[in-house]
Amino acid sequence: MPLQIGQSLNNRYRIVNLLGQGGFGAVYRAWDVNLQRPCALKENLETSPEAQHQFQREAFLLSKLSHPNLPRVTDYFFIPGQGQYLVMDFVEGEDLQEKLDRQGPLLEAQVLPWISQVCQALSYLHSQSPPVVHRDLKPSNIRITPDDKAMVVDFGIAKIYDPSLKTTIGARAVTPGYSPPEQYGQGTTDTRSDVYALGATLYTLLTGQKPLESVFRIASQPLTSPRQLNPAIAPSTESIILKAMELGPETRFQAISDLQNAITRPVGIPLSTEKVSQVSMLGTSTSPPVSLPITPATAPQSRSPWIWLGIGGALVAGCLLLVVTGAYFRSQSGPDPTARPTRTAKTQSGLPTSMPVIDTALPTTGIPDNPPATLPVSALPATVPATAPLPTNVPGTWRCSAR
């Protein structure tokens, strides 16, 4: 029997109004006369000794939780022959079912940040030891505060996950459209059950329609795709919803954190901006990437032509200097009639085995004291990439080979 407005429970909580109810309980807004503040009071009408022990155990665990997207559990009590009660902070605002009824399908850009906050709260619940499974996620159990914060409420049927136990009492608390197949009958629920329910919640918020009940889908009735109901939904978001709502737990997202990552970085996202910019800066150069170890942080591609022009110009100037110096010394000493032509046979390294006439130590006479400022020797690289094309023949008397 529903509680009456003005009725007091446990000599402390006065009922203000009914917020919602189901087959095995209800949620009321109440007033804490001791602390003089509003609270939410969850009633569970299951009064068997087993249910009472389970509910009390869960209330003790929930009272230790602290998360910005979860209300605090502040009290628990049992009234023999009537029910058991969980007292939580009252969350101001509007739940998502109320928003949906008032506005119709909600915008994706508005909904996804809220769902991401719900994921954070669920990840916190699932990380407890043992994990806490909410087991009744739906739009009416997500409230949006005046400062746009999503709060997960209604912990009355939350269950501690025990893989050795089957779902018994909780199976009767299914919500058609949001409960996965394993929550019916004697199935075993775990944290992936919340993944299904959150995917179904997202389906409803974006399409305006509650999804087909999971057990009917097993009977070969296909789920209408979200984009068929609302073409404005992004394909990546649709794929997230459908994966979260897979009938088999093993084919869904295996953790709420996986679902959150998919929401914040949708399926099919292109290369990051950083990677795209690095690829575009390579230009159309035909040299293999390994021979051009240039990164945007040290040598932008736009400077590379000037570097190679400087290297090539320095090599040409060096060869011309050798030619002019050789001609100068020949004019001073004259030809040697006894000199025999010398072949410039190359070694495997490409350098001549003998250098005729010219001494490798160049005299300082005739060389400018101040080399041109446009070709500073220190600007040349210590090593030249092996694949860079460099001039091998310079017009004149002598051949200048370089690598």
pLDDT at 82: 87
Residue 292 has pLDDT above 70, yes or no: no
**Which residue is catalytic, options 32, 95, 136, 147?**
136
pLDDT at 185: 77
- 136 catalytic? Reply is yes
Residue type, 171: A
**Distance (Å, whole) CA 260 – CA 31:** 36
Q: How confident is the model at residue 157 (pLDDT cuts 50, 70, 90)?
A: low
Q: How confident is the model at residue 113 (pLDDT cuts 50, 70, 90)?
A: very high
All CATH 3.30.200.20 domain ranges of the chain, comma separated, are 1-90
Most confident segment among 164-173, 235-244, 268-277:
235-244
**Distance (Å, whole) CA 83 – CA 55:** 11
pLDDT at 163: 56
Is domain 92-268 given the CATH code 1.10.510.10 in the classification? Answer: yes
Average pLDDT across the chain, whole number: 75
pLDDT at 209: 96
Q: How confident is the model at residue 24 (pLDDT cuts 50, 70, 90)?
A: confident
Task: Check: CB of residue 223 under 8 Å from CB of residue 244.
Answer: no
Q: Is 44 helix (H, G, I), strand (E, B) or coil?
A: strand
352 - beta bridge partners? Answer: 346
All CATH 1.10.510.10 domain ranges of the chain, comma separated, are 92-268
pTM above 0.85, yes or no: no
Counting runs of H as helices and runs of E as strands, what totals does the chain give? Answer: 10, 11
Q: Which of 164-173, 279-288, 292-301, 342-351 bottoms out in mean pLDDT, i.e. has the lowest?
A: 279-288
**Token pair of 356 as six digits:** 């005729």
Residue 169 has pLDDT above 60, yes or no: no
Tell which CATH architecture fits domain 1-90. Answer: 2-Layer Sandwich (3.30)
Residue with tokens 């000037």: 306
Q: Buried b / exposed e across 19-28, counting CB within 10 Å, b at 16+?
A: beeeebbbbb
In eight-state DSSP terms, residue 350 is: S
- Kindly state the average pLDDT of the residues 213-219: 91
